Amino acid sequence: MRSRVTCIARRPGLIALAGALVALPRIVGAQVAVDELELRVPARPGGTSTTTTFHAANRGITPANATITIQDWDRSEAGENRYYLTGTLPTSCGKHVSVFPSVLQLAPRSVQTIRVTVDSGAAIGHGCYAILFVDNPPPPRTAQSTAVQYSVRYGVKVYVEPETPLSAEVTDVGVSETKAKVANGKLSAQAGGRSRQLDITYKNTGARQTIAHGAVEIRRPDNSVVSKIDIPEFPTLPGATRRLGVALPNLPSGRYVLLALLDYEGAEIAAGQVELDIP
Q: How many domains does the chain have?
A: 2
217 and 266 inside one domain:
yes
239 and 116 inside one domain:
no
118 and 216 inside one domain:
no
199 and 139 inside one domain:
no
172 and 271 inside one domain:
yes
Is pLDDT above 70 for 270?
yes
| Average confidence (pLDDT) over 247-270 | 96
23 and 133 inside one domain:
yes
112 and 189 inside one domain:
no
Domain end residue (candidates: 106, 136, 161): 161
Exposure of 225 in the CB half-sphere (CA atoms within 13 A): 8
269 and 203 inside one domain:
yes
- The CATH number of the domain holding residue 41 is 2.60.40.10
Domain end residue (candidates: 134, 161, 188): 161
How does pLDDT run across 66-105, given as a tens digit for each residue? Answer: 999 999 999 999 999 999 999 999 999 988 899 999 999 9
Would you say how long the chain is, in residues? 279
Partners of residue 172 on adjacent β-strands: 201
Q: What is the structure's pLDDT at 178? A: 77
Q: What is the structure's pLDDT at 30? A: 58
What backbone phi and psi angles, to 5 degrees, belong to 217?
-105, 130
- The pTM of the full predicted model, rounded to 2 decimals, is 0.79
How does pLDDT run across 15-25, given as a tens digit for each residue? Answer: 333 333 333 33
133-164: b (≥16 Cβ within 10 Å) or e: bbbbebbeeeeeeeeebbbbebbbbbbbbbee
In sequence order, the 6+-apart residues with CB closer than 8 A to the CB of 222 are none
Is pLDDT above 50 for 14?
no
Integer Cα distance of 125 and 54 in angstroms: 25
Query: Long-range contacts made by residues 227-233, C-beta under 8 angstroms, separation at least 24?
Result: 231/260, 231/262
Decide if 201 contacts 170 (C-beta within 8 A).
Answer: yes
Decide if 7 contacts 19 (C-beta within 8 A).
Answer: no
> Domain range spanning residue 227?
168-278
Domain end residue (candidates: 161, 184, 218): 161
239 and 124 inside one domain:
no
